[in-house]
């Protein structure tokens, strides 16, 4: 893609640009820190051709590249893989002024970010996300981490990159299923903050699922803008603390803060655990957003038409909106025990109208179950 790039500024935890479009080589060479003599490129086998392009750019810039290949998906996010990376940094004589580049999907950018955050207490990081999910969510905002036996992302750090370089043309090389499930996070961005995203998808869902469409570039740009605004306001996810239990805290956009990015994620995380992480994150988020919409409907925050809109939007993209009903007790327990809940109080991001996230704390058990029982609809309308 050779069009003029769009630059979106992220502030709050170290200022940087997310650069969308233009040539990957051209954008990358411009963001390599002049101080970096050595560059480690962390990638998976599936994006080796893109990693090779990155290595060439690094070499042309007169820096010494070291390539680290890590396993695909969540298998990369372990302390053993991180330790293997630290060993390679040590062997390469990696200093505080050097640079880590993460090339891949969300698991790769999380792991590369974690390695950059922890080596010598933090070295520079450039993210080159190659999946839609990583472009619009994982690679932007500075969250890094690994999984441990007790749960996903329980060990990590906030560590902002110095730049995120997005070349939408690389999406053509990613399996279609990854593109479609990544769209769940795009829909989320629309529902929580930029309803034009929903309008655009509704007008042309076929273009939305086509990685090569112009609409895809616009959806990436709008979703990154949403993420950039939210994390710039509340980098460390401190907003939304202190509302009364048992209430809907209609606190307005800014005070809900970064937690709004968890729209649909409370149930989604429980579903991912129940499925042993064999379900894709975006699929679980899609189901979780319909659940959140039903919760909002039952508590008088969304009208029926808006709940139906959630279903129609997601099904038009081929995303799931139903879930097995026999799993409810297990899912409820899992949500209650989720280590990310605050003091074991159940919290849900719901919408008080499209584009207006609020926090619902400790809703009554029967409302939760009623919302879940509605996830058996089969018509999508």
Is position 339 annotated as part of the catalytic site? no
Annotated active-site residue 265? The verdict is: yes
**Known active-site residue 269:** yes
What order of strands is seen across the sheet that includes strand 357-361?
Answer: 248-249, 357-361, 347-351
| Smallest gap from residue 118 Cβ to ligand GLY (A) | 19
Strands 16-20 and 38-44: unpaired
Residues pairing with 20 in the sheet: 6, 166
- Annotated active-site residue in 225, 281, 301, 311: 281
Residue 20 or 261 having the CB closest to ligand GLY: 261
Strand stretches in the chain, DSSP E = 6-10, 16-20, 38-44, 64-70, 99-104, 124-129, 143-148, 151-158, 163-166, 248-249, 347-351, 357-361
Our CB check for ligand GLY shows the closer of 152 and 311 to be 152
- Furthest CA-CA distance within the chain: 63
Active-site annotation holder among 38, 43, 269, 301: 269
Q: Closest separation between CB of residue 300 and ligand GLY, Å? A: 27
Q: Is 179 one of the annotated active-site residues of the chain?
A: no
Q: Is 281 a catalytic residue?
A: yes
Q: Nearer Cβ to ligand GLY, position 138 or 298? A: 138
Residue 301 annotated among the catalytic residues of the structure: no
- Select which of 38, 159, 258, 273 is catalytic: 258
- Give the active site residue among 121, 278, 304, 366: 121
Q: Closer to ligand GLY at the Cβ: 198 or 349? A: 349
Query: Closest distance between ligand GLY and the C-beta of residue 163, in Å?
Result: 17
Give yes or no: 121 in active site: yes
**Rounded to the nearest whole angstrom, what is the least distance from the CB of residue 258 to ligand GLY in the complex?**
5
From the list 185, 229, 243, 259, the catalytic residue is 185
**Catalytic residue status for 159:** no
Task: Say whether 300 sits in a helix, a strand or coil.
Answer: coil
What one-character DSSP code corresponds to residue 13? S
Give contact residues for ligand GLY (rule: CB under 6 A): 137, 141, 143, 258, 261
Residue with tokens 């959630």: 310
CA distance 142 to 125: 10
In whole angstroms, how close is the CB of 380 to ligand GLY at the nearest point?
A: 26
DSSP character string of 33-75: -TT-SEEEEEEEGGGHHHHHHHHHHHHHTT-EEEEEEE-SGGG
Which DSSP category does 342 fall into?
B
Residues belonging to the active site: 121, 143, 185, 227, 237, 258, 262, 265, 269, 281
């Amino acid at each position: 893609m050779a069009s003029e790039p769009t630059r979106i500024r992220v502030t709050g935890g170290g200022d940087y640009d997310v650069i969308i479009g233009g040539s990957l080589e051209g954008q990358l060479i411009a963001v390599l820190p002049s101080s970096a003599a050595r560059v480690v490129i962390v990638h998976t086998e599936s994006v080796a051709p893109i990693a090779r392009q990155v290595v060439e750019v690094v070499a042309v810039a007169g820096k010494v590249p070291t390539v680290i290949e890590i396993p695909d998906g969540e298998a990369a996010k372990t302390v053993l893989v991180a330790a293997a990376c630290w060993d390679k940094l040590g062997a390469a004589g990696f200093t505080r002024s050097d640079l880590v580049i993460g090339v891949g999907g969300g698991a790769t950018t999380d792991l590369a970010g974690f390695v950059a955050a922890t080596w010598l207490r933090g070295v520079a990081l450039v993210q080159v996300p190659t999946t839609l999910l990583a472009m619009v969510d994982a690679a932007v905002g500075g969250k890094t981490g690994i999984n441990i036996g007790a749960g996903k992302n329980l060990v990590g750090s906030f560590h902002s990159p110095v730049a995120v370089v997005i070349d939408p043309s690389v999406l053509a090389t990613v399996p279609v299923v990854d593109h479609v499930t990544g769209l769940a996070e795009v829909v989320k961005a629309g529902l929580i903050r930029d309803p034009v995203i929903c309008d655009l998808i509704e007008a042309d869902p076929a273009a939305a699922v086509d990685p090569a469409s112009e609409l895809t570039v616009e959806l990436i740009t709008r979703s990154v803008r949403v993420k950039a605004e939210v994390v710039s306001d509340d980098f460390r996810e401190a907003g939304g603390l202190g509302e009364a239990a048992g209430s809907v805290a209609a606190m307005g956009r800014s005070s809900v803060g970064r937690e709004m990015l968890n729209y649909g994620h409370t149930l989604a995380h429980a579903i991912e655990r129940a499925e042993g992480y064999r379900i894709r994150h975006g699929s679980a988020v899609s189901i979780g957003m319909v659940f959140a919409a039903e919760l909002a409907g039952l508590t008088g925050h969304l009208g029926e038409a808006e709940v139906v809109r959630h279903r129609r939007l997601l099904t038009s993209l081929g995303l799931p909106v139903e879930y097995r009903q026999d799993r409810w007790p297990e899912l409820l327990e899992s949500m209650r025990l989720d280590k990310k809940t605050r003091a074991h109080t159940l919290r849900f991001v719901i919408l008080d109208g499209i584009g207006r996230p609020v926090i619902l704390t400790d809703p009554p058990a029967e409302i939760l179950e009623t919302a879940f029982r509605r996830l058996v609809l089969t018509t999508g309308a």
